[in-house]
Structure 1
Amino acid sequence: MANPPHGGVLKDLVVRDTPIQAQLLAETKSLPDIILTERQLCDLELIINGGFSPLEGFLNQADYQSVLDNMRLTNGALWPMPITLDVSKDQAEALKIQAGARVTLRDPRDDNPIAILTVSDLYPAKKQEEAAKVFGKDDRAHPAVAYLHDNVKELYVGGAVQAISRPRYYDYVELRYTPAELRLHFQKVAWRKVVAFQTRNPMHRAHRELTVRASRQRQANVLIHPVVGMTKPGDVDHYTRVRVYQSLMPRYPKGMAHLALLPLAMRMGGPREALWHAIIRKNFGVTHFIVGRDHAGPGKDSSGKDFYGPYDAQTLVTQFKDELGIEMVPFQQMTYLPASDEYQPVDEVAAGTQTLDISGTELRRRLRNGAPIPDWFSYESVVKTLRESYPPKAQQGFTVFITGLYNSGKDDLARALQVKLNEQGGRSVSLLLGETVRSELSSELGFSQEDRHKNIQRIAFVAAELTRAGAAVIAAPIAPFEASRKLAKETVQKTGGAGNFFLVHVSTPLQVAEQTDRKGIYAKARAGQIKGFTGVDDPYEEPTNADLTLDLSQMTIAEGVHATILTLESDGLLQV
């Protein structure tokens, strides 16, 4: 399509010729596959739809080095962020990746072929250099640096791509615009000047006031353009955020603002990221771009200092303003003035004027505790949406993971805790006993360390899903290995809630567990009739980080339950 006055040259690689698309699709059947990661998928989508213009593929080695050193491609085009396709050495050998080879790039969610990549080169990732030059320092406290070292493979594949199809989405389809589609929308509604607002967080009244102010100062319309790809770990999920944005849109004057979603994998790269964001928004047909205080900053480094200065991003974008072809709109932090019931930039507030603010930490505390959130800070519809997705602690699900030797009393404790939680009410309660899970979910597994680990991870998966749904989960496997327990905790916290996992170690001594074994299981193990029995000829690694340790040879089951209940109550999950 023709580029409007406010847009740059757009390289949309999506194939619209059906015979060519059919030919490419047929070719994928004979090509090796690379199943993309979530970040690679986000990058590829913006490569093929023009969001990453002028890129036509993943960076080759020369362009990669040039971007690291100069924030430019080798042809001189401004480009601050390395967009790379990483593979392992084993993967490269298995797929026979070499110059001239062709590889199908597939969506990890549904195996759909997105594009064919023609390999230009295969080269080593310079992780330390990339971290230092792109993000300022090689510090794992930076989420992108941690991702670089922990997730990115050792080799990069360079090459141009031929698009076959776009990733399929079933959520908010009406809000997902390609650059060409959004440019066409601006033409249709006669928007010649558009100021874009980048966000990865819920929006509140201050954000609305900021964007309206920018619109009126520039006599431009507003594009709310939130990121719905990968953001910073721990951020509010995109479903909740989009519901917040949708509830906020009617608060704008009619015809002023439009909402569209951006499937970007953020790197939290501060100044370079701001420059990158500006280029992307230009590709989407935007004429002005808001860059705020500490734009795309990841927070503190490992020494407790900010990774970037508060206005470093604005300085860098200003440095390239003539070349960018998009005007930066700098904004200070907004603050509320109760005397006049309005928001103003902090640098415009007279000294001594009373102001009010609520930090992100304080907002999360109020959501967690069910405390009121004033209407001067946010709108009722926004608060309602946030409370639905992030209910108070007393309404959240949790997992109590009880580990201990066979016949230590852990199963009795688990059953009694289930009864006590059912008595209290307020949540459904699920009990996952080791023997029950073995028979129902893991009947094909043996008792090798590998099979024991698989069994624990199955328990963790079920517990995480139930916890996410708001249930109280009591899991009571032996779980003899620290690595398995650690991964189980990570699984539950990732899906079910960051703080809603409690490890209870039933530390009843082996001697006591063996002496009170009415079924004679320990005796059979001692006699060699049972092999690989925990505590006899297989180790039990005692937890060193349990939230609660209970020796049931020194206390009753009722006392153990009470201690567990008090632990949950002290964390705000129960009301006693």
Structure 2
Amino acid sequence: MQLITPYGGTLKNLYQTSPEPMVALRHSWVLSARQLCDTELLLNGAFSPLSGFMNEDDYNRVLHEMRLMDHTLWPMPLTLDVTSEFAASIEIGESIELRNAEGLLIAHMKVSTRWVADKKIEADCVYGTQDQAHPGVDHLYHRTNETYIGGTLSGVTPPPHYDFRQSRYTPEQLRNEFIRRGWQRVVAFQTRNPMHRAHVELTFRAAQQAEANLLLHPVVGMTKPGDVDHYTRVRCYEHALHRFPEQTTMLSLLPLAMRMAGPREALWHAIIRRNYGCSHFIVGRDHASPGCDSLGNEIYGTYDAQDLMYKHQEELGIHMIPFQAMVYVEERSEYAPSDEILPDETVRSISGTELRRRLREGLDIPDWFTYPEIVTELRRTYPPRYAQGFTVFFTGLSGSGKSTLANALLVKLMEVGGRPVSLLDGDIVRTHLSSELGFSKEHRDLNVSRIGFVASEITKNRGIAICAPIAPYTATRREVRQMIEAVGGFVEIHVATPLSICEARDRKGLYAKARAGLIKDFTGIDDPYEEPESPDLKLDTTDASPEAIVQLILLKLEALGYMP
């Protein structure tokens, strides 16, 4: 069905116009969090003119030219990645079910194409780098399946949202709301962070410059790992909304999975806002930039996103409002664009890193930076470190002393008291949580991921989790760190006892069996242990007592601010 309105041109709606008889299809795919976001925005028209996940031809042209095969400007590949086993089980032309994690049927997809992607080419084209410090590249290399399938979608059930429902508008609903309010010119503001005074000033000026109404349109899908959770952010947006004129500003939430792709992402965001009915879009410095690469260099230029938007804005059908960063000028007691500052004026600003440090350490956050009610919300979610939950993650070879140290640390932290402490030792987890798993690489990764998930739940609820698996692989440890740091603290301790000492301590005879070939893929013998590059603490238990080493760990926790 096509919906034509004065706002943003043609909008696709991929939901079935009349319910079809429910027929069980042969295959169902459970959508990941990112895939569910993509599917929702495909179905409701936010990704118009797409009618489903891209086929291989569209994918390749988007990578190299930022255009679909019909020449439509489109900067971001949108594909459904599946396991090679699932891809091999389906036939071209077959319809499959797409379900959410709870099993709810979201859509049918008629598969038209299937291919194995070259991830290095995709990384270079979309992100401009293969550096895995880029969160989009990291997701592509470590969380994206090898095989892509494309095909048209037919929507069955919108993904359910139980939070902030009063602020969740589809493109059609938002266009109709603009018509109801009589809004002809609407400037959209994209953000994945809480709004502070600088953001309020920036958006207010942009709306005045465009002589337009203002739509605060924050992303509440997947953003950059480590970002403030969307529940806290939305509460902050609701507080900030009261700082704007009531009749000229509104809030709507966007369930987008960001890629942090800088200039390409800016174009993508503009197309999405056009589809939601907006006439203008604010693009600031470093729009959708992930920051620095692994060498500390900025991945994108400061004005790359604005330059690309300038080049294509007429074709996009939405006007860009470029903005400099807003800084506080002490002599004026007000905010001003950074390019308007006089040489003798004193500028004040607080970076996101500095704000997190102040929250972590319970330090003052000045009124010129943000509003008291927003500080209150942030402090509720991010108390000082000594009141946060955290995970101590031991990793090292079998026999290195991880379990001994973990048990000793457990006793010491329980002796201190104040927070619940849970031990997730490798052998204990194997018995109670992963008894069906073997010792293949896939199963070892799954075991560590399960430990990480349980630890993240403990950490989220302000407890202390002590984990002591071997965890031999860097990528899996990184995944666990990201999972836990999203909800609290993570302290990685590498128990770097030499292999010879670990073998000499081997009470179970595992190393001897591995040397004799009776155990295959044993870590340290015929399967590698990838040492952490920058653990918070590196320990060798060869000549030190557990008591002495645990004191070093407690001192490290105190230095990091986790001990009261």
TM-score (norm 1): 0.84
The answer to whether the 8 A contact 1:59-1:159 is kept is yes
Per the alignment, in what secondary structure is the counterpart of residue 140 of structure 2? helix
Give per-residue Cα distances to partners, 1:7-43, cap 9 Å, x unaligned: 31111122242xxx232xx23x133222223222222
Distance in structure 1 (CA, Å) of the matches to 2:478 and 2:57: 43
Residue aligning to 1:76: 71
1:129 aligns with 2:130: no
Distance in structure 2 (CA, Å) of the matches to 1:62 and 1:31: 27
The answer to whether the 8 A contact 1:200-1:226 is kept is yes
Per the alignment, in what secondary structure is the counterpart of residue 473 of structure 1? strand
1:383 aligns with 2:381: no
The answer to whether the 8 A contact 1:402-1:506 is kept is no
Structure 1 segments unaligned to the other structure (5+ residues): 515-521
Per the alignment, in what secondary structure is the counterpart of residue 10 of structure 2? coil
Residues 1:112 and 1:342: Cα distance change in structure 2 (over 3 Å): same
Residue aligning to 2:315: 323
1:501 aligns with 2:502: no
* Partner residue of 1:55 out of 40, 45, 50: 50
Residues 1:269 and 1:564: Cα distance change in structure 2 (over 3 Å): closer
Residue aligning to 2:539: 549
Residue aligning to 1:11: 12
Per the alignment, in what secondary structure is the counterpart of residue 224 of structure 2? coil
Residue aligning to 1:95: 90
- What letter matches 1:324 in structure 2? L
Give per-residue Cα distances to partners, 1:507-541, cap 9 Å, x unaligned: 69679968xxxxxxx5xx67x9xx97999987775
Residue aligning to 2:419: 427
Distance in structure 2 (CA, Å) of the matches to 1:406 and 1:153: 31
Matches within 5 A, 1:256-267: 256-267=248-259
Residues 1:404 and 1:64: Cα distance change in structure 2 (over 3 Å): closer
Matches within 5 A, 1:274-289: 274-289=266-281
Deviation at 1:126, TM superposition (A): 4.1
Residue aligning to 1:115: 107
Distance in structure 1 (CA, Å) of the matches to 2:72 and 2:409: 64
Q: Which moved more, 1:146-155 or 1:43-52?
A: 146-155
Deviation at 1:452, TM superposition (A): 7.7
Residues 1:467 and 1:55: Cα distance change in structure 2 (over 3 Å): same
Deviation at 1:122, TM superposition (A): 2.5
The answer to whether the 8 A contact 2:393-2:490 is kept is no
TM-score (norm 2): 0.86
Structure 2 segments unaligned to the other structure (5+ residues): none
Distance in structure 2 (CA, Å) of the matches to 1:423 and 1:88: 47
Residues 1:136 and 1:324: Cα distance change in structure 2 (over 3 Å): same
Identity, in percent, stands at: 47
Distance in structure 2 (CA, Å) of the matches to 1:81 and 1:246: 30
- What letter matches 2:20 in structure 1? A
The answer to whether the 8 A contact 1:552-1:560 is kept is no
Deviation at 1:553, TM superposition (A): 6.6
Distance in structure 2 (CA, Å) of the matches to 1:173 and 1:389: 21
Residue aligning to 1:483: 472
Deviation at 1:377, TM superposition (A): 0.4
Distance in structure 1 (CA, Å) of the matches to 2:347 and 2:302: 21
The answer to whether the 8 A contact 2:396-2:471 is kept is no
Deviation at 1:442, TM superposition (A): 5.8
Distance in structure 2 (CA, Å) of the matches to 1:61 and 1:269: 21
Residues 1:438 and 1:273: Cα distance change in structure 2 (over 3 Å): closer
- What letter matches 1:36 in structure 2? L
Deviation at 1:449, TM superposition (A): 9.3
Residues 1:562 and 1:487: Cα distance change in structure 2 (over 3 Å): same
Give per-residue Cα distances to partners, 1:95-132, cap 9 Å, x unaligned: 23x1x22222222x222222222223333424333333
The answer to whether the 8 A contact 1:289-1:327 is kept is yes
Residues 1:570 and 1:102: Cα distance change in structure 2 (over 3 Å): same
Matches within 5 A, 1:534-573: 541=524, 547-549=537-539, 551=541, 554-555=544-545, 558-573=547-562
The answer to whether the 8 A contact 1:463-1:492 is kept is no
Distance in structure 2 (CA, Å) of the matches to 1:75 and 1:447: 49
Distance in structure 2 (CA, Å) of the matches to 1:132 and 1:375: 42
Residue aligning to 1:182: 174
Residue aligning to 1:269: 261
Residue aligning to 2:354: 362
Per the alignment, in what secondary structure is the counterpart of residue 103 of structure 1? strand
- RMSD of aligned C-alpha atoms? 3.5
The answer to whether the 8 A contact 1:335-1:356 is kept is yes
The answer to whether the 8 A contact 2:188-2:282 is kept is yes
The answer to whether the 8 A contact 2:55-2:149 is kept is yes
Q: Which moved more, 1:464-473 or 1:288-297?
A: 464-473
Per the alignment, in what secondary structure is the counterpart of residue 320 of structure 1? helix
Give per-residue Cα distances to partners, 1:295-341, cap 9 Å, x unaligned: 11222245543232222222222222322221111111111112222
Give per-residue Cα distances to partners, 1:222-257, cap 9 Å, x unaligned: 111011122222222222211211221111122221
1:254 aligns with 2:252: no
Residues 1:313 and 1:573: Cα distance change in structure 2 (over 3 Å): same
